[in-house]
């Protein structure tokens, strides 16, 4: 296993459309997932898409820690994912990204989705996701279509460096 280099905003691999994986059970796909899991743990994130590690394939991994949502979601490996909104209801929430270190923004996302794809065993996966779980899945799958979260921001007064945004929020709360 290896810790992979994470592509940062501006790198062409993050702007392209990722290619489908022909065989989810292939040994090279399993190795890539192992390396992505190690990379994600090292970086301290909650999700990672293959293009973020310079591999233009339709593969994402993510988990939802208990402290971030009503229900913990264990590590999920999703190959060739498809996302379908369950309603038109949108929810704003803060997002960051390992490919945009230090930056955060408020992004509207569908509050309820269904995602489907395949696991490493080649078996279909289909789940409904709500709230933060839905947000993480949408964020990671956006990477597969060359979309970084700033492209979805509607109010750029709520986008900036995390440290500055925290300082501004603390000043507003105190004032």
Q: What values do phi and psi take at 6, rounded to 5?
A: -95, 125
pLDDT for 161 equals 96
pLDDT for 171 equals 58
pLDDT for 67 equals 82
pLDDT for 165 equals 86
pLDDT for 66 equals 85
Sign for the CA dihedral angle at 22, 47, 161, 5 comes to negative
- Give residue-wise pLDDT tens across range 54-71: 999 999 999 998 887 778
- Which residues are identified as catalytic? 140
Segments of the chain with pLDDT less than 50: none
pLDDT for 135 equals 97
Q: What b/e readout covers 143-159, taking b as 16+ CB neighbours within 10 angstroms? A: bbebbbbeebbeeeeeb
Across the chain, the runs of DSSP E, i.e. the strands, are 47-49, 59-64, 73-85, 90-96, 103-110, 112-118, 124-130, 159-161
* Domains of the chain, CATH where assigned: 12-173 (3.90.45.10)
């Amino acid at each position: 296993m290896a810790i992979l280099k994470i592509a940062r905003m501006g790198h062409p691999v993050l702007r392209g459309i990722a290619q489908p994986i022909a065989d989810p059970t292939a040994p090279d796909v399993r190795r890539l997932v192992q390396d992505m899991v190690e990379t994600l743990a090292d970086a301290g994130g909650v999700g990672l898409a293959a293009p973020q590690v310079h591999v233009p394939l339709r593969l994402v991994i993510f988990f939802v820690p208990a402290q971030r949502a009503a229900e913990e979601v264990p590590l999920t490996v999703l190959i060739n994912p498809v996302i379908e909104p369950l309603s038109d209801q949108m929810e704003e929430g803060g997002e960051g990204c390992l490919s945009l270190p230090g930056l955060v923004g408020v992004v509207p996302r569908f509050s309820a989705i269904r995602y489907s794809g395949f696991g490493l065993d080649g078996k279909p996966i289909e789940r409904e996701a709500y709230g933060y779980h839905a947000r993480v899945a949408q964020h990671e799958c956006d990477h597969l279509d060359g979309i970084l979260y700033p492209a979805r921001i509607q109010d750029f007064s709520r986008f900036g460096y995390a440290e500055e945004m925290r300082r501004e929020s603390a000043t507003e709360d105190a004032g």
